[in-house]
């Protein structure tokens, strides 16, 4: 039987120090991506909102227009910078996320662009679940005050390696999305994300490990580093989890790169030991995702 990951591959998560200076963020991201690829990474991930501060008041100011695709350099300098960088480095680049403005509707989205090694755009994911929380005395954040949600699950085929899924931050809290991607054959679920000091300590690692454990796939969570002078304090702790829910690598709150080898055959090994796939009882829960098995 074909293995989900066609060959072992090095994954790098760049926990970038993100500032209010977009041009600086882009050139800094470039140097870190090149550092990771020189060390052998073939799939590289940037954090959520890597080229702007994270906050509803910043989204309109930093938003770029991505449609019609490809946008002009003026409409989206980030699109062009990421495309050129993926090509220069010869890697699959999951470009974190950026605030996007859809010109036709004037709606804003939190959007992730994935490029292939020839600089070609492979996928666009608009954050499906907006980060709306209110924990008294701790944190109130309402993305929906300015953002609109995306409406699709994003699965990307990397011909040499297999299938990955890309979603953004709060999306990780919704197991349905991860489950469907895994049933469709993804070997890796990637979440550019920016949890905070309240939810990060409680749920960041738990969410990553839970999605890996439930689905027996690799999971990567990629955060900005923490800046206590910024308005939003990111949790950091970018991490890679293996299909047995073991943490393969995790940073602290400072800037850095998590480099991990994803091993061909590991998913199948874990699934052989704990064969959830063949033990599911669709007769007991026929409405749950039976139709999502297979590769289409
Ligand atoms: N920033 C997010 O989208 C999500 C988050 O911080 C959380 O779920 O907690």
Active site residue ranges? 48, 127, 169
Residue of 47, 172, 193 to test ligand 1 pocket, by largest number of atoms within 8 Å of CB:
193
Residue 81 lies in a domain: yes
Angle at 172 between CA 48 and CA 291, to 5 degrees: 130
Q: How confident is the model at residue 293 (pLDDT cuts 50, 70, 90)?
A: low
In a domain, 119, yes or no: yes
Q: What pLDDT was estimated at residue 289?
A: 59
* Residue with CA closest to ligand 1 atom 3: 170
Number of domains, the chain: 1
pLDDT in tens, 98-129: 999 998 899 999 999 999 999 999 999 999 99
Question: Is residue 1 included in any domain, yes or no?
Answer: no
**Domain enclosing residue 158, as ranges:** 9-279
Q: What's residue 295's pLDDT?
A: 47
Query: 192: pLDDT confidence band, cut at 50, 70 and 90?
Result: very high
Question: Tens of pLDDT along 5-38?
Answer: 999 999 999 999 999 999 999 999 999 999 999 9
pLDDT at 287: 74
Q: Residue with the nearest Cα to atom 7 of ligand 1?
A: 195
> What residue has token string 């992730």?
112
Predicted TM-score of the model (pTM): 0.96
Alpha carbons 242 and 213: distance in angstroms, whole number:
8
* pLDDT averaged over every residue in the chain: 96
Q: Ligand 1: residues whose CB is within 6 Å? A: 131, 169-170, 173, 194-196, 199
As a whole-number percent, the residues of the chain with pLDDT over 70 amount to 97
Residue 25 near residue 48 (C-beta atoms within 8 A): no
Q: Domain holding 177: CATH number?
A: 3.60.110.10
CA of 58 to the centre of ligand 1 (A): 17
Q: Which atom of ligand 1 is nearest to the CA of 173?
A: 8
The atom of ligand 1 lying closest to the CA of 200 is: 9
């Amino acid at each position: 039987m074909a293995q989900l990951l066609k060959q072992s591959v090095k994954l790098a998560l760049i926990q970038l120090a993100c500032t209010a200076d977009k041009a600086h963020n882009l050139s800094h991201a470039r140097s870190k991506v090149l550092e990771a690829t020189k060390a052998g990474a073939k799939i590289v991930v940037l954090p959520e909102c890597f080229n702007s501060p994270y906050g509803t008041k910043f989204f309109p100011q930093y938003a770029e227009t991505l449609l019609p695709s490809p946008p002009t350099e003026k409409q989206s300098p980030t699109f062009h910078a990421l495309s050129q960088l993926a090509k220069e480095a010869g890697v699959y680049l999951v470009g974190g996320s950026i605030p996007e403005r859809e010109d036709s509707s004037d709606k804003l989205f939190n959007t992730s662009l994935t490029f292939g090694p020839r600089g070609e755009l492979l996928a666009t994911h608009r954050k499906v679940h907006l980060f709306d929380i209110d924990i008294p005395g701790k944190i109130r954040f309402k993305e929906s005050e300015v953002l609109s949600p995306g409406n699709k699950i994003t699965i990307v085929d990397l011909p040499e390696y297999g299938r990955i899924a890309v979603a953004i931050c709060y999306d990780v809290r919704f197991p349905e999305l991860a489950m469907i991607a895994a049933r469709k054959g993804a070997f890796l679920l990637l979440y550019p994300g920016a949890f905070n000091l309240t939810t990060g300590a409680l749920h960041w690692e738990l969410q990553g490990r839970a999605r890996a454990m439930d689905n027996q796939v690799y999971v990567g969570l990629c955060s900005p580093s923490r800046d206590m002078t910024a308005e939003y304090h990111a949790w950091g702790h970018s991490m890679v989890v293996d299909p047995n829910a073991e943490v393969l690598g995790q940073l602290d709150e400072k800037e850095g790169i998590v480099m991990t080898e994803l091993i061909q055959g590991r998913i199948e090994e874990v699934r052989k030991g704990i064969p959830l796939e063949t033990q599911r009882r669709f007769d007991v829960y026929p409405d749950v995702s039976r139709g999502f098995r297979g590769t289409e």
